[in-house]
């Protein structure tokens, strides 16, 4: 039995080596500071450190802040960084320049655009007051949706993405959806669901936290109205990196954003007592930019120069598919339940599975240098960041996981 397993691992290792040798993105791994003793499969929670970041942060701290002091707001381009970095993110999510601004957290941006979207929908058609919310959403989106609904008086309607078309109606004002289910890794059809909402007369707000930087998004092409995204997952901006928000160009002057801070004023240094909104994406800023974390994200984006998102998606699907096939071969039958869809068109860039004692399983893997994460009660998640994850990493993780499951079930050594 052990001989059969060893032979299977040998075959899978040959497949992994062949795939890594042919990988057109393999050279990008050298642009990340990675511990070669660790298999890191949690880039869907916190991306790895790009080698471009430490030196840039040192320059910002020691020169721009240390020597330039307040002059750096203009002299070093700090003041315009939210829009400039937004324009760097734009190609990664399929947006033209001038539609993305970077700042605050994903949570703040979800609240900002939910309230703004509800107000805009009701202004266009007073009947459209309902807020449809993805019932599988990341919890904070749900919390903020309830707060936004209370603030605006909007009825809150939970809706599974697969049931959206049936739930849309002439009272629907805004639909808040996640592009990728954070728990299962299921990818929802953004163009189709956006079109369904548009045809029903509703606006769409997409949370791209688990897709931006992992796969092509195509915001402009799909006609998405609003979107938010995370800077510290697949974009590798570092812990607490600011998020981004996207507002389609033709909507920008129509939206009345609720967080009217001084940085979104038409003349922020005029110190006027009354608020006048800035034009363009700038009107979706609020307070003073988080310069250190913002410029860390800016430096992290250097790794994307010349990267073809089609290749990123191709590798993501190959990695996740290979990982699942390794588990199919190596893990005991019935030892886990795959939550992530096997079909390529329905899979993001993570693999989630359900198994007994998932917390203990993931703790044991981490002790062996394989880092994924656990979601209660019994979900194990493995995120595959195509810029730096290798096929050999996928096999190492699958081998370690299957060995742990075999030991737990009493069918092999720990």
3-state secondary structure the chain: CHHHHHHHHHHHHHHHHHHHHHCCCHHHHHHECCCCCCEECECCCCCCCECHHHHHHHHHHHHHHCCCHHHHHHHCCCCCHHHHHHHHHHHHHCCCCCCEEECCCHHHHHHHHHHHHHHHHHHHCCCCCEEEEECCCCHHHHHHHHHHHHHHCCCEEEECHHHHHHHCCCCEEEEEEECECCCCCEECCHHHHHHHHHHCCCEEEEECCCCCCCCCCCHHHHCCCEEEECCCCCCCCCCCCCCEEEECHHHCCCCCCCCCCHHHECCCCCCCCCCCECCHHHHHCCCCCCHHHHHHHHHHHHHHCCCCHHHHHHHHHHHHHHHHHHHHHHCCCCCCEECCCCCHHHECCEEEEECCCHHHHHHHHHHCCEECEEECCCEEEEECCCCCCCHHHHHHHHHHHHHHHHHHCCCCCC
Tokens for 32, please give them: 């990340």
pTM listed for this prediction:
0.96
Determine the pLDDT at residue 335: 95
| Residues with pLDDT less than 50, the chain | 414
Domain 79-304: CATH class, spelled out: alpha beta
Sign of the Cα torsion 381, 385, 386, 389 reads negative
Decide if domain 2-51+308-408 falls under CATH 3.40.47.10.
no
pLDDT confidence of residue 410: 80
Check residue 414 and give its pLDDT.
43
Active-site residues: which are they?
A: 138, 207, 232-233, 381
Per-residue pLDDT tens over the stretch 306-356: 999 999 999 999 999 999 999 999 999 999 999 999 999 999 999 999 999
pLDDT computed for residue 408 by the predictor: 86
Q: Where are the chain's structural domains? A: 2-51+308-408, 79-304
């Amino acid at each position: 039995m052990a001989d059969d397993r060893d032979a299977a691992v040998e075959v899978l290792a040959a497949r992994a080596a062949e795939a890594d040798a042919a990988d057109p993105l393999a050279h990008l791994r050298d642009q990340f500071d990675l511990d070669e003793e660790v298999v890191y499969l949690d880039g869907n929670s916190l991306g790895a450190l790009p080698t471009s970041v430490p030196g840039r942060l040192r320059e910002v701290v020691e020169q721009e802040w240390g020597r330039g002091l307040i002059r750096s707001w203009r002299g070093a381009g700090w003041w315009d960084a939210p829009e400039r970095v937004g324009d760097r993110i734009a190609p990664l999510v399929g947006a033209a320049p001038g539609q993305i601004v970077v700042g605050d957290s994903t949570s703040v941006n979800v609240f900002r655009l939910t309230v703004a979207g509800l107000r805009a929908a009701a202004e266009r058609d007073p009947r459209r007051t309902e807020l449809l919310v993805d019932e599988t959403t990341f919890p904070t989106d749900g919390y903020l949706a309830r707060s936004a609904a209370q603030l605006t008086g909007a009825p809150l309607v939970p809706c599974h993405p697969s049931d959206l078309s049936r739930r849309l109606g002439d009272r629907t004002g805004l639909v808040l959806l996640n592009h990728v289910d954070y728990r299962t890794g299921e990818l929802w059809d953004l163009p189709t669901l956006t079109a369904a909402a548009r045809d029903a007369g509703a606006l769409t707000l997409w949370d791209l936290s688990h897709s931006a930087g992992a796969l092509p998004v195509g915001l402009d092409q799909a006609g998405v109205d609003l979107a938010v995204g995370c800077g510290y997952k697949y974009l590798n901006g570092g812990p607490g990196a600011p998020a981004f928000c996207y507002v389609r160009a033709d909507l920008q002057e129509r939206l009345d954003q609720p967080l009217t801070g001084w940085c979104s004023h038409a003349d922020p240094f005029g110190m006027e007592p009354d608020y006048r909104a800035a034009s363009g994406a700038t009107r979706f800023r609020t307070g003073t930019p988080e310069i250190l974390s913002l410029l860390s994200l800016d430096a992290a984006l250097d790794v994307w120069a010349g990267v073809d998102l089609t290749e990123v998606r191709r590798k993501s699907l190959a990695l996740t598919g290979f990982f699942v096939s390794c588990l199919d071969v190596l893990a005991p039958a019935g030892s886990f339940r795959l939550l992530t869809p096997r079909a390529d068109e329905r899979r993001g860039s993570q693999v989630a599975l359900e198994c007994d004692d998932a917390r203990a399983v993931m703790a044991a893997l981490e002790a062996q240098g394989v880092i994924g994460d656990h979601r209660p009660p019994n979900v194990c998640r493995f995120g595959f960041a195509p810029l730096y994850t290798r096929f050999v990493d996928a096999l190492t993780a699958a081998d370690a996981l299957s060995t742990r499951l075999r030991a737990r079930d009493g069918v092999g050594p720990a």
